[in-house]
Amino acid sequence: MNGETSGGRRDLDGKVVVVTGGSRGIGRSIVLAAVERGARVAFCARSMGEAAQDVHAEAERIGGTGRVFAMAADVSHRGDVDAFVDATLGVWGTIDVLLNNAAIDKDALLLQMPVAEFGTVLGINLTGPFLMSQRVLREFLRHDTPGVIVNIGSIFDRGAPSQTAYSTSKGGLRGLTHAIAEQYGPSGIRANLVVSGLVETELSRHMPAHFRKSVLSNPLARAGGTEEVASAVLLLAGRAGRAMNGATVYASGGIVDANFPG
């Protein structure tokens, strides 16, 4: 096996990879792993504070100077999305891969959930990938790029108690992924979904104990690592995933649905 044909070390050599939410957690690992595999990476987050600067510095340490571009952008705002994509094109000239990773989890039971909060979660977790995909797909089509989109889903995507907005957003993301795969597959563009199980990050920090226990009852009986989810994402993004379109890959230790009956 070598990097030419497999998910080897230089699988993304020369590719331009765009990552949303790259400043911490799973996104951080995706940025660093993509640079390690030879990519030039543009990432965004709403804040370009210490965490984002640290990712930038670490990516340059791994890949060398000039291999990473970072910018503050909120994926739920079309203006920010356009500015981020325009700036990326200004720096790298092209985009080959879009990894829709940014998300939040603000949740409550349906009757306790203010509609504004529901809208905020949907805006970031679902409208964000829609806006990013719409904008980047136009670039793929304009330049005849055999581009790739990977969305990051969740085992909560069929519903889980109190995950009213988060579950709804991740269920929608599954549908969006399939819609892109069907509509643009004929143009050589691929869209796939990586469903993550529990990974200890800022997002999962406030997960109720009974949830945590249930999700950790996966056959591997442990939480995933951010690098493990990143590996699955980059497998689909690179040459090793060339035949995969509309696929769902579970990076969740063997659990596929945390529906918590009863």
Ligand X SMILES: NC(=O)c1ccc[n+]([C@@H]2O[C@H](COP(=O)([O-])OP(=O)(O)OC[C@H]3O[C@@H](n4cnc5c(N)ncnc54)[C@H](OP(=O)(O)O)[C@@H]3O)[C@@H](O)[C@H]2O)c1
Interaction site with ligand X (CB under 6 A): 20-27, 44-47, 74-76, 101-104, 124, 128, 152, 154, 196, 198-199, 201-204
CB of 86 to ligand X, least distance (A): 16
Strands 190-196 and 248-251: parallel
CB of 15 to ligand X, least distance (A): 21
CB of 223 to ligand X, least distance (A): 7
CB of 151 to ligand X, least distance (A): 8
Q: Cα–Cα distance between 116 and 103 in angstroms, integer?
A: 16
Q: How far is CA 13 from CA 17, 33, 126, 178, in A?
A: 10, 12, 30, 27
Q: Considering beta carbons, is residue 45 or 191 the nearer one to ligand X?
A: 45
Q: Considering beta carbons, is residue 94 or 201 the nearer one to ligand X?
A: 201
Decide if 28 contacts 110 (C-beta within 8 A).
no
Q: At 185, phi and psi to the nearest 5?
A: -55, -45
Q: Cα–Cα distance between 123 and 112 in angstroms, integer?
A: 19
Q: Cα–Cα distance between 178 and 140 in angstroms, integer?
A: 18
Decide if 60 contacts 84 (C-beta within 8 A).
no
Q: At 75, phi and psi to the nearest 5?
A: -65, -15
Note if 250 is an active site residue. Answer: no
Q: How far is CA 182 from CA 88, 137, 148, 231, in A?
A: 27, 13, 13, 25
Q: Residue 207's closest CA among 105, 103, 125, 121?
A: 105
CB of 125 to ligand X, least distance (A): 7
Q: Which residues contact 44 (CB under 8 A, 6 or more apart)?
A: 19, 20, 21, 22, 70, 71, 72, 73, 75, 80, 84, 102
Q: Considering beta carbons, is residue 22 or 238 the nearer one to ligand X?
A: 22
Q: Considering beta carbons, is residue 23 or 168 the nearer one to ligand X?
A: 23
- Kindly name the residue from 118, 166, 184, 250 that is annotated as catalytic: 166
Q: Considering beta carbons, is residue 21 or 38 the nearer one to ligand X?
A: 21
Which residues are identified as catalytic? 166
